[in-house]
Amino acid sequence: MRKLFISSMLAVGLMTSAAAFAEKYAVVDIQKAASDTTYMKSQMASLESALKPQQQKHERLTKEITALQQKAQTDAKVMKEADLKKLEQDYASKMNEYNSNAAGMQKRAQDTLENINKTLAPKIEQATEDLRKSGGYSAILNRSAVVSLDPSIDLTSQVTQKVNASLK
């Protein structure tokens, strides 16, 4: 009886293993699929050109703040108190402007990325699901969760192509 139980359990285990090997899996690098889309590239180019004036202002303010710091270090001992106070006010004003400008750029970039994500996330999800069904895959995994794989099961470029086609 015990031998029959062991042999039947072994047979069930082998059948389960064979069924598991029959499953078909693929991977997608979601971040790469998104960043390779024409939509993402155009949105990032638009963001970069929109932020260019603020970046130039940021660089100018950095130079002005550095100049004020150097002036304070070199001339503070010989400056009149009124001039020193004005220098401190100028420095504080420039720092406020610098921080405000940086926050504005950060907000603009964050808003743009959120809008890109709202547009791309459902498209990538739909493209992945379409590929899963048409390819007969049991599951498509995120590439970052897989340690090693056969490159032939990477569907990233196909997802990018499907997303590009759906956004035209």
Q: Which pLDDT band holds residue 22 (cuts at 50, 70, 90)?
A: low
Mean of pLDDT values over 120-125: 97
| pLDDT attached to residue 168 | 85
pLDDT at position 23 over 90: no
Q: What is the pLDDT of residues 83-94, one digit of tens each?
A: 889 999 999 999
Residue 161's region, left for phi above 0, alpha for psi from -120 to 50, else beta, is: alpha
Pick the CATH number of 23-41+50-166 from 3.30.450, 3.30.910, 1.10.3120, 3.30.70: 3.30.910
pLDDT at 138 over 90: yes
Residue 6 pLDDT level (bands cut at 50, 70, 90)? low
pLDDT at position 3: 58
The residue to which tokens 């590239």 are assigned: 41
Domain boundaries, the chain: 23-41+50-166
Q: Over range 134-145, report the average pLDDT.
A: 93
64-112: per-residue pLDDT in tens? 999 999 988 888 788 888 988 999 999 999 999 999 999 999 999 999 9
Q: Please tell me the distance from the alpha carbon of residue 98 to that of residue 78, in angstroms, as a whole number.
A: 28
| Averaged pLDDT score across all residues of the chain | 89
Judged against a pLDDT cut of 70, whether residue 7 lies above it is answered with no
Q: Per the confidence metrics, is the pTM higher than 0.85?
A: no
Angle between helix 156-166 and 38-75 (nearest 10)? 100
Q: Where does the pLDDT of residue 18 fall: very low under 50, low under 70, confident under 90, or very high at 90 and above? A: very low
What are the start-end ranges of the H helices in the chain?
2-22, 30-35, 38-75, 81-135, 156-166
In the block, which residue shows the tokens 């420095």?
A: 91
Instruction: Tell me the mean pLDDT in the region 28-46.
Output: 96
Question: Predicted confidence band at 143 (pLDDT cuts at 50, 70, 90)?
Answer: very high
DSSP states of 118-162 as a string?
HHHHHHHHHHHHHHHHHHT-SEEEEGGG-SS--GGGB-HHHHHHH
